[in-house]
Protein backbone atom coordinates (compact mmCIF):
# COMPACT_ATOMS: atom_id res chain seq x y z
CA UNK A 1 0.00 0.00 0.00
CA UNK A 2 1.17 3.53 -0.73
CA UNK A 3 0.69 6.38 1.66
CA UNK A 4 0.71 10.14 1.20
CA UNK A 5 2.65 10.53 4.45
CA UNK A 6 6.34 11.40 4.09
CA UNK A 7 8.80 8.74 5.18
CA UNK A 8 11.82 9.49 7.42
CA UNK A 9 14.20 9.29 4.46
CA UNK A 10 11.96 11.42 2.27
CA UNK A 11 11.68 8.78 -0.46
CA UNK A 12 8.79 9.41 -2.83
CA UNK A 13 7.34 7.51 -5.77
CA UNK A 14 5.47 9.83 -8.09
CA UNK A 15 3.12 11.83 -5.92
CA UNK A 16 2.91 9.05 -3.33
CA UNK A 17 5.25 8.13 -0.50
CA UNK A 18 5.88 4.51 0.44
CA UNK A 19 5.04 3.46 3.98
CA UNK A 20 8.32 1.94 5.14
CA UNK A 21 6.74 -0.35 7.75
CA UNK A 22 4.65 -1.93 4.99
CA UNK A 23 7.47 -2.10 2.44
CA UNK A 24 9.65 -4.27 4.68
CA UNK A 25 6.75 -6.70 5.00
CA UNK A 26 6.40 -7.19 1.27
CA UNK A 27 8.65 -10.25 1.12
CA UNK A 28 9.46 -11.88 4.46
CA UNK A 29 9.99 -10.68 8.00
CA UNK A 30 10.13 -11.62 11.67
CA UNK A 31 7.59 -10.23 14.11
CA UNK A 32 8.76 -9.64 17.67
CA UNK A 33 6.28 -9.32 20.51
CA UNK A 34 8.05 -7.23 23.16
CA UNK A 35 5.04 -7.53 25.44
CA UNK A 36 5.76 -11.27 25.49
CA UNK A 37 9.36 -10.54 26.55
CA UNK A 38 8.04 -8.48 29.45
CA UNK A 39 5.51 -11.17 30.33
CA UNK A 40 8.25 -13.80 30.43
CA UNK A 41 10.45 -11.67 32.66
CA UNK A 42 7.58 -11.15 35.09
CA UNK A 43 6.67 -14.85 35.04
CA UNK A 44 10.23 -15.96 35.74
CA UNK A 45 10.73 -13.42 38.50
CA UNK A 46 7.67 -14.79 40.25
CA UNK A 47 9.49 -18.08 40.90
CA UNK A 48 12.62 -16.32 42.22
CA UNK A 49 13.17 -15.21 45.76
CA UNK A 50 13.31 -11.42 46.28
CA UNK A 51 17.08 -11.63 46.78
CA UNK A 52 17.73 -13.41 43.47
CA UNK A 53 18.37 -11.17 40.48
CA UNK A 54 17.58 -11.97 36.85
CA UNK A 55 20.26 -11.80 34.16
CA UNK A 56 18.79 -11.61 30.65
CA UNK A 57 21.00 -13.44 28.16
CA UNK A 58 20.95 -11.37 24.97
CA UNK A 59 23.96 -12.85 23.17
CA UNK A 60 23.73 -13.75 19.46
CA UNK A 61 21.52 -10.70 18.85
CA UNK A 62 19.18 -11.91 21.60
CA UNK A 63 18.90 -15.33 19.95
CA UNK A 64 17.88 -13.61 16.73
CA UNK A 65 15.25 -11.37 18.34
CA UNK A 66 17.19 -8.08 18.25
CA UNK A 67 19.53 -7.47 21.17
CA UNK A 68 18.96 -3.77 21.82
CA UNK A 69 15.17 -3.76 22.02
CA UNK A 70 15.09 -7.04 23.91
CA UNK A 71 17.64 -5.72 26.41
CA UNK A 72 15.69 -2.50 26.90
CA UNK A 73 12.42 -4.39 27.38
CA UNK A 74 13.90 -6.97 29.75
CA UNK A 75 15.52 -4.32 31.92
CA UNK A 76 12.35 -2.26 32.07
CA UNK A 77 10.39 -5.38 32.99
CA UNK A 78 12.66 -6.23 35.91
CA UNK A 79 15.89 -7.86 34.77
CA UNK A 80 18.91 -6.21 36.38
CA UNK A 81 21.82 -7.76 34.44
CA UNK A 82 22.59 -8.56 30.81
CA UNK A 83 24.83 -11.28 29.42
CA UNK A 84 26.48 -11.41 26.01
CA UNK A 85 29.14 -13.63 24.44
CA UNK A 86 31.48 -11.25 22.63
CA UNK A 87 33.10 -7.91 23.19
CA UNK A 88 31.42 -6.48 20.09
CA UNK A 89 27.98 -7.37 21.41
CA UNK A 90 28.68 -5.48 24.61
CA UNK A 91 29.97 -2.40 22.79
CA UNK A 92 26.80 -2.24 20.67
CA UNK A 93 24.64 -2.16 23.80
CA UNK A 94 26.78 0.50 25.45
CA UNK A 95 26.78 2.67 22.31
CA UNK A 96 22.98 2.49 22.36
CA UNK A 97 22.93 3.87 25.90
CA UNK A 98 22.44 0.70 27.95
CA UNK A 99 23.90 1.39 31.40
CA UNK A 100 23.06 -1.88 33.19
CA UNK A 101 25.87 -4.26 34.17
CA UNK A 102 26.86 -6.47 31.23
CA UNK A 103 28.67 -9.78 31.70
CA UNK A 104 30.78 -11.13 28.84
CA UNK A 105 30.41 -14.91 28.94
CA UNK A 106 33.20 -15.61 26.45
CA UNK A 107 36.92 -15.60 27.18
CA UNK A 108 39.06 -12.50 26.55
CA UNK A 109 42.84 -12.82 26.38
CA UNK A 110 44.57 -9.86 24.70
CA UNK A 111 45.63 -6.52 26.21
CA UNK A 112 43.79 -4.63 23.45
CA UNK A 113 40.52 -6.37 24.29
CA UNK A 114 41.05 -5.83 28.01
CA UNK A 115 41.57 -2.10 27.53
CA UNK A 116 38.43 -1.96 25.42
CA UNK A 117 36.43 -3.77 28.11
CA UNK A 118 37.61 -1.24 30.68
CA UNK A 119 36.73 1.67 28.40
CA UNK A 120 33.17 0.45 27.86
CA UNK A 121 32.70 -0.60 31.49
CA UNK A 122 31.90 -4.21 30.65
CA UNK A 123 32.46 -7.09 33.03
CA UNK A 124 34.57 -10.04 31.81
CA UNK A 125 34.69 -13.70 32.71
CA UNK A 126 38.05 -14.97 33.97
CA UNK A 127 38.59 -18.66 33.35
CA UNK A 128 42.11 -19.49 34.55
CA UNK A 129 45.16 -18.06 36.36
CA UNK A 130 47.03 -17.17 33.17
CA UNK A 131 44.15 -15.04 31.96
CA UNK A 132 43.87 -13.36 35.36
CA UNK A 133 47.56 -12.41 35.26
CA UNK A 134 47.17 -10.84 31.80
CA UNK A 135 44.18 -8.84 32.99
CA UNK A 136 45.92 -7.61 36.12
CA UNK A 137 49.07 -6.60 34.27
CA UNK A 138 47.18 -4.78 31.52
CA UNK A 139 44.90 -2.95 33.92
CA UNK A 140 47.85 -1.91 36.07
CA UNK A 141 49.49 -0.36 33.02
CA UNK A 142 46.40 1.67 32.10
CA UNK A 143 45.59 2.53 35.71
CA UNK A 144 42.14 1.00 35.88
CA UNK A 145 40.33 -1.49 38.10
CA UNK A 146 37.82 -3.87 36.60
CA UNK A 147 35.02 -5.99 38.11
CA UNK A 148 35.52 -9.62 37.06
CA UNK A 149 33.52 -12.85 37.25
CA UNK A 150 35.32 -16.12 37.92
CA UNK A 151 34.20 -19.22 36.03
CA UNK A 152 34.43 -22.68 37.61
CA UNK A 153 34.18 -25.83 35.51
CA UNK A 154 32.01 -28.29 37.45
CA UNK A 155 31.43 -30.69 34.59
CA UNK A 156 30.65 -28.77 31.40
CA UNK A 157 34.29 -29.16 30.27
CA UNK A 158 34.17 -25.85 28.50
CA UNK A 159 35.45 -22.57 29.97
CA UNK A 160 36.58 -22.32 33.57
CA UNK A 161 39.05 -23.59 36.14
CA UNK A 162 38.35 -27.14 37.26
CA UNK A 163 36.24 -27.13 40.40
CA UNK A 164 38.77 -28.73 42.76
CA UNK A 165 41.32 -26.00 41.88
CA UNK A 166 38.80 -23.18 42.25
CA UNK A 167 39.92 -22.09 45.72
CA UNK A 168 43.49 -21.47 44.55
CA UNK A 169 42.20 -19.61 41.49
CA UNK A 170 39.96 -17.35 43.56
CA UNK A 171 42.78 -16.75 46.08
CA UNK A 172 45.07 -15.64 43.23
CA UNK A 173 42.52 -13.23 41.78
CA UNK A 174 41.76 -11.89 45.27
CA UNK A 175 45.43 -10.94 45.65
CA UNK A 176 46.03 -9.50 42.19
CA UNK A 177 45.88 -5.71 41.82
CA UNK A 178 43.28 -3.96 39.70
CA UNK A 179 40.85 -6.91 39.78
CA UNK A 180 37.65 -6.73 41.79
CA UNK A 181 35.81 -10.04 42.09
CA UNK A 182 32.13 -9.54 41.28
CA UNK A 183 30.96 -13.16 41.27
CA UNK A 184 31.88 -16.83 41.07
CA UNK A 185 29.80 -18.96 38.74
CA UNK A 186 29.52 -22.20 36.83
CA UNK A 187 27.41 -23.60 34.00
CA UNK A 188 25.23 -26.70 33.87
CA UNK A 189 25.55 -29.31 31.12
CA UNK A 190 22.33 -31.33 31.55
CA UNK A 191 19.84 -29.11 33.37
CA UNK A 192 17.21 -29.84 30.71
CA UNK A 193 17.41 -33.61 31.30
CA UNK A 194 14.55 -35.09 33.37
CA UNK A 195 17.20 -37.19 35.11
CA UNK A 196 18.84 -34.76 37.59
CA UNK A 197 21.83 -36.98 38.42
CA UNK A 198 24.50 -35.02 36.58
CA UNK A 199 23.04 -31.65 37.58
CA UNK A 200 23.13 -32.71 41.21
CA UNK A 201 26.75 -33.84 40.82
CA UNK A 202 27.68 -30.45 39.35
CA UNK A 203 25.80 -28.74 42.15
CA UNK A 204 27.71 -30.74 44.76
CA UNK A 205 31.01 -29.81 43.12
CA UNK A 206 30.01 -26.14 43.06
CA UNK A 207 29.05 -26.23 46.72
CA UNK A 208 32.34 -27.95 47.59
CA UNK A 209 34.34 -25.35 45.68
CA UNK A 210 32.49 -22.46 47.36
CA UNK A 211 33.07 -24.02 50.80
CA UNK A 212 36.80 -24.23 50.11
CA UNK A 213 36.85 -20.63 48.91
CA UNK A 214 35.09 -19.44 52.04
CA UNK A 215 37.47 -21.51 54.19
CA UNK A 216 40.24 -19.22 52.95
CA UNK A 217 38.37 -16.21 54.31
CA UNK A 218 37.00 -15.10 50.92
CA UNK A 219 33.26 -14.66 50.41
CA UNK A 220 32.24 -14.12 46.78
CA UNK A 221 29.82 -11.20 46.55
CA UNK A 222 27.57 -13.19 44.18
CA UNK A 223 27.09 -16.80 43.15
CA UNK A 224 25.24 -17.91 40.02
CA UNK A 225 24.73 -21.33 38.56
CA UNK A 226 21.30 -21.68 36.91
CA UNK A 227 20.51 -21.39 33.22
CA UNK A 228 16.91 -21.35 31.95
CA UNK A 229 16.32 -25.06 32.58
CA UNK A 230 17.71 -24.98 36.11
CA UNK A 231 15.84 -21.77 36.86
CA UNK A 232 12.58 -23.49 35.98
CA UNK A 233 13.33 -26.85 37.60
CA UNK A 234 15.26 -26.36 40.84
CA UNK A 235 15.08 -23.39 43.19
CA UNK A 236 18.01 -24.70 45.20
CA UNK A 237 20.39 -23.57 42.44
CA UNK A 238 19.06 -20.03 42.05
CA UNK A 239 21.64 -18.45 44.38
CA UNK A 240 22.06 -14.67 43.94
CA UNK A 241 21.47 -14.54 40.21
CA UNK A 242 19.95 -16.68 37.44
CA UNK A 243 20.98 -16.48 33.79
CA UNK A 244 17.94 -16.87 31.56
CA UNK A 245 18.20 -17.11 27.79
CA UNK A 246 15.73 -19.42 26.05
CA UNK A 247 13.01 -18.87 28.65
CA UNK A 248 13.19 -15.14 28.03
CA UNK A 249 12.11 -15.81 24.45
CA UNK A 250 9.13 -17.90 25.49
CA UNK A 251 10.44 -21.39 24.78
CA UNK A 252 11.01 -24.24 27.21
CA UNK A 253 14.38 -26.02 27.35
CA UNK A 254 12.58 -29.39 27.60
CA UNK A 255 8.98 -30.63 27.37
CA UNK A 256 8.79 -31.66 31.03
CA UNK A 257 9.34 -28.02 32.06
CA UNK A 258 6.24 -26.67 30.32
CA UNK A 259 4.13 -26.79 33.46
CA UNK A 260 6.57 -24.83 35.60
CA UNK A 261 5.74 -21.31 34.42
CA UNK A 262 3.60 -19.67 31.75
CA UNK A 263 5.87 -18.43 28.96
CA UNK A 264 4.81 -16.77 25.72
CA UNK A 265 6.72 -17.20 22.44
CA UNK A 266 8.15 -13.90 21.26
CA UNK A 267 9.05 -14.56 17.62
CA UNK A 268 6.96 -15.25 14.52
CA UNK A 269 8.35 -15.80 11.02
CA UNK A 270 6.17 -14.67 8.13
CA UNK A 271 6.43 -14.28 4.37
CA UNK A 272 4.21 -13.43 1.43
CA UNK A 273 3.08 -15.46 -1.54
CA UNK A 274 4.56 -14.04 -4.71
CA UNK A 275 2.84 -16.22 -7.32
CA UNK A 276 0.11 -18.87 -7.57
CA UNK A 277 -0.02 -21.29 -10.49
CA UNK A 278 -1.43 -24.64 -11.55
CA UNK A 279 0.81 -27.51 -12.64
CA UNK A 280 -0.26 -30.75 -14.37
CA UNK A 281 0.47 -34.31 -13.19
CA UNK A 282 4.06 -35.43 -13.64
CA UNK A 283 5.57 -31.97 -13.19
CA UNK A 284 8.82 -31.60 -11.28
CA UNK A 285 9.10 -28.87 -8.67
CA UNK A 286 12.32 -27.00 -7.82
CA UNK A 287 15.96 -28.05 -8.10
CA UNK A 288 16.67 -31.74 -8.52
CA UNK A 289 12.99 -32.62 -8.92
CA UNK A 290 12.81 -33.93 -5.36
CA UNK A 291 9.05 -33.61 -5.77
CA UNK A 292 7.00 -34.60 -8.83
CA UNK A 293 3.26 -33.97 -8.83
CA UNK A 294 1.04 -37.06 -8.98
CA UNK A 295 -2.01 -35.01 -9.99
CA UNK A 296 -2.91 -31.49 -10.98
CA UNK A 297 -1.80 -29.13 -8.21
CA UNK A 298 -2.10 -25.48 -7.41
CA UNK A 299 1.19 -24.28 -6.02
CA UNK A 300 2.23 -21.06 -4.36
CA UNK A 301 5.70 -19.55 -4.47
CA UNK A 302 6.75 -17.86 -1.22
CA UNK A 303 9.52 -15.27 -0.92
CA UNK A 304 11.69 -16.89 1.74
CA UNK A 305 14.42 -19.52 1.60
CA UNK A 306 17.53 -20.97 3.13
CA UNK A 307 19.42 -17.67 2.83
CA UNK A 308 16.87 -16.36 5.34
CA UNK A 309 17.29 -19.28 7.74
CA UNK A 310 14.75 -21.82 6.46
CA UNK A 311 16.94 -24.92 6.37
CA UNK A 312 17.13 -26.75 3.04
CA UNK A 313 16.93 -29.97 5.05
CA UNK A 314 13.28 -29.13 5.73
CA UNK A 315 12.50 -29.64 2.06
CA UNK A 316 9.34 -31.73 1.55
CA UNK A 317 8.90 -31.94 5.34
CA UNK A 318 8.05 -28.36 6.25
CA UNK A 319 4.50 -27.26 6.94
CA UNK A 320 3.31 -23.66 7.09
CA UNK A 321 0.08 -21.89 8.00
CA UNK A 322 -2.23 -20.10 5.60
CA UNK A 323 -5.63 -18.86 6.80
CA UNK A 324 -5.25 -20.99 9.92
CA UNK A 325 -4.64 -24.21 7.97
CA UNK A 326 -1.50 -26.32 7.67
CA UNK A 327 -0.08 -26.47 4.16
CA UNK A 328 2.78 -28.69 3.01
CA UNK A 329 5.93 -27.41 1.37
CA UNK A 330 7.02 -29.25 -1.80
CA UNK A 331 10.29 -29.54 -3.69
CA UNK A 332 13.72 -28.35 -2.64
CA UNK A 333 13.78 -25.15 -0.59
CA UNK A 334 15.85 -22.68 -2.57
CA UNK A 335 18.01 -19.76 -1.50
CA UNK A 336 15.28 -17.14 -1.65
CA UNK A 337 12.03 -19.01 -2.28
CA UNK A 338 10.02 -22.12 -1.50
CA UNK A 339 6.92 -23.74 -2.94
CA UNK A 340 3.69 -24.91 -1.32
CA UNK A 341 0.88 -27.21 -2.34
CA UNK A 342 -2.14 -24.92 -1.90
CA UNK A 343 -4.68 -27.06 -3.75
CA UNK A 344 -6.96 -27.04 -0.71
CA UNK A 345 -6.88 -23.26 -0.20
CA UNK A 346 -9.44 -21.66 -2.54
CA UNK A 347 -8.98 -18.32 -4.31
CA UNK A 348 -5.46 -17.80 -2.97
CA UNK A 349 -3.79 -14.64 -4.21
CA UNK A 350 -0.27 -13.27 -4.43
CA UNK A 351 0.42 -11.09 -1.41
CA UNK A 352 -1.29 -13.29 1.16
CA UNK A 353 0.69 -13.96 4.32
CA UNK A 354 2.24 -17.31 5.18
CA UNK A 355 3.22 -18.09 8.79
CA UNK A 356 6.27 -20.34 9.02
CA UNK A 357 6.71 -20.10 12.78
CA UNK A 358 3.94 -18.69 14.92
CA UNK A 359 0.21 -18.86 15.42
CA UNK A 360 -2.57 -18.37 12.88
CA UNK A 361 -6.07 -18.71 14.31
CA UNK A 362 -6.13 -22.00 16.26
CA UNK A 363 -3.07 -23.57 14.63
CA UNK A 364 0.54 -23.03 15.70
CA UNK A 365 3.95 -24.04 14.38
CA UNK A 366 6.84 -23.70 16.80
CA UNK A 367 10.61 -23.57 16.63
CA UNK A 368 10.52 -26.81 18.62
CA UNK A 369 8.68 -28.47 15.73
CA UNK A 370 11.40 -27.42 13.29
CA UNK A 371 14.07 -28.58 15.72
CA UNK A 372 12.52 -32.03 16.01
CA UNK A 373 12.34 -32.39 12.23
CA UNK A 374 15.97 -31.33 11.85
CA UNK A 375 17.33 -33.31 14.81
CA UNK A 376 18.60 -30.20 16.55
CA UNK A 377 17.52 -27.80 19.32
CA UNK A 378 15.26 -24.75 19.29
CA UNK A 379 18.20 -22.50 20.24
CA UNK A 380 19.77 -23.18 16.84
CA UNK A 381 16.50 -22.54 15.00
CA UNK A 382 16.06 -19.12 16.62
CA UNK A 383 19.67 -18.11 16.02
CA UNK A 384 19.54 -19.25 12.40
CA UNK A 385 17.27 -16.54 11.00
CA UNK A 386 19.39 -14.14 8.98
CA UNK A 387 19.48 -10.38 9.26
CA UNK A 388 18.01 -9.77 5.84
CA UNK A 389 14.72 -10.67 7.51
CA UNK A 390 13.63 -7.37 9.11
CA UNK A 391 12.70 -7.61 12.80
CA UNK A 392 9.38 -5.84 13.20
CA UNK A 393 7.93 -5.02 16.61
CA UNK A 394 4.21 -5.69 16.68
CA UNK A 395 3.93 -3.03 19.40
CA UNK A 396 5.23 0.20 17.92
CA UNK A 397 4.27 2.22 21.01
CA UNK A 398 4.61 -0.23 23.91
CA UNK A 399 3.29 0.71 27.28
CA UNK A 400 5.38 0.58 30.44
CA UNK A 401 6.73 -2.94 30.79
CA UNK A 402 7.47 -2.57 34.50
CA UNK A 403 4.12 -4.02 35.63
Q: Is residue 26 part of a domain?
A: no
Q: Is residue 360 part of a domain?
A: yes
Do 247 and 371 share a structural domain? no
Do 193 and 332 share a structural domain? no
Do 187 and 335 share a structural domain? no
Do 180 and 283 share a structural domain? no
Q: Is residue 320 part of a domain?
A: yes
Tens digit of each residue's pLDDT (9 = 90 or more) over 61-80: 999 999 999 999 999 999 99
CATH number at residue 219: 3.20.20.10
Do 40 and 101 share a structural domain? yes
Detail the residues annotated as belonging to a binding site for substrate.
Answer: 158, 335
Do 141 and 182 share a structural domain? yes
Q: Is residue 398 part of a domain?
A: no
Do 200 and 273 share a structural domain? no
**Domain end among 201, 221, 252:** 252
CATH number at residue 279: 2.40.37.10
Do 77 and 137 share a structural domain? yes
Query: 279-287: which pairs have CB atoms within 8 A and are 24 or more residues apart?
Result: 284/331, 285/330, 285/331, 285/339, 286/315, 286/330, 286/331, 286/332, 286/333, 286/334, 286/339, 287/331, 287/332, 287/334
| Residue 317: closest CA among 371, 378, 389, 263 | 371
Do 126 and 163 share a structural domain? yes
Domain range for 117:
34-252
Question: Across the strands, what pairs with 301?
Answer: 275, 339
Detail the residues annotated as belonging to a binding site.
Answer: 158, 335
Do 192 and 59 share a structural domain? yes
Q: Is residue 4 part of a domain?
A: no
Do 282 and 191 share a structural domain? no
Q: Which of 45, 59, 69, 182 is catalytic?
A: 59
pLDDT at 1: 36
H-type helices in 143-284, by residue range? Answer: 166-175, 197-215, 228-233
Q: Is residue 158 part of a domain?
A: yes
**Count: domains in the chain:** 2
pLDDT at 395: 73
Tens place of pLDDT per residue across the chain (403 aa): 333 344 444 444 445 555 656 666 789 999 999 999 999 999 999 999 999 999 999 999 999 999 999 999 999 999 999 999 999 999 999 999 999 999 999 999 999 999 999 999 999 999 999 999 999 999 999 999 999 999 999 999 999 999 999 999 999 999 999 999 999 999 999 999 999 999 999 999 999 999 999 999 999 999 999 999 999 999 999 999 999 999 999 999 999 999 999 999 999 999 999 999 999 999 999 999 999 999 999 999 999 999 999 999 999 999 999 999 999 999 999 999 999 999 999 999 999 999 999 999 999 999 999 999 999 999 999 999 999 999 999 875 544 555 4
Determine whether 59 is an active site residue: yes
Q: Is residue 1 part of a domain?
A: no
**Domain end among 252, 278, 297:** 252
Q: Which of 5, 141, 287, 289 is catalytic?
A: 287
The region, left, alpha or beta by phi > 0 then psi within -120 to 50, assigned to residue 209 is alpha
Determine whether 287 is an active site residue: yes
Contact status, residue 232 vs residue 261, Cβ threshold 8 Å: yes
pLDDT at 366: 98
Helix (H) or strand (E) holding 106: strand 102-107
Q: Is residue 258 part of a domain?
A: no
**Domain end among 193, 223, 252:** 252
Q: What pTM was computed for the model?
A: 0.91
Do 228 and 296 share a structural domain? no
Amino acid sequence: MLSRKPTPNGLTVGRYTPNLSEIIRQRAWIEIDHHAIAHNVHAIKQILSPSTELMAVVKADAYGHGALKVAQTALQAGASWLAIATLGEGIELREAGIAAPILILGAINTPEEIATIAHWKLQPTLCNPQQALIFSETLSKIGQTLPVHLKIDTGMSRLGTIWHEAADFVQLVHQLPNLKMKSVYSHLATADDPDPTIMRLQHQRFEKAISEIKAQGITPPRLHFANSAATLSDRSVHYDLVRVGLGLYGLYPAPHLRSTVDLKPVLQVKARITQVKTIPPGTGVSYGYQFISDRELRIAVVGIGYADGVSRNLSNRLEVLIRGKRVRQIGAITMDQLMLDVSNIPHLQAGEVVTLIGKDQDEEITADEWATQLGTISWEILCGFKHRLPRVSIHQNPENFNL
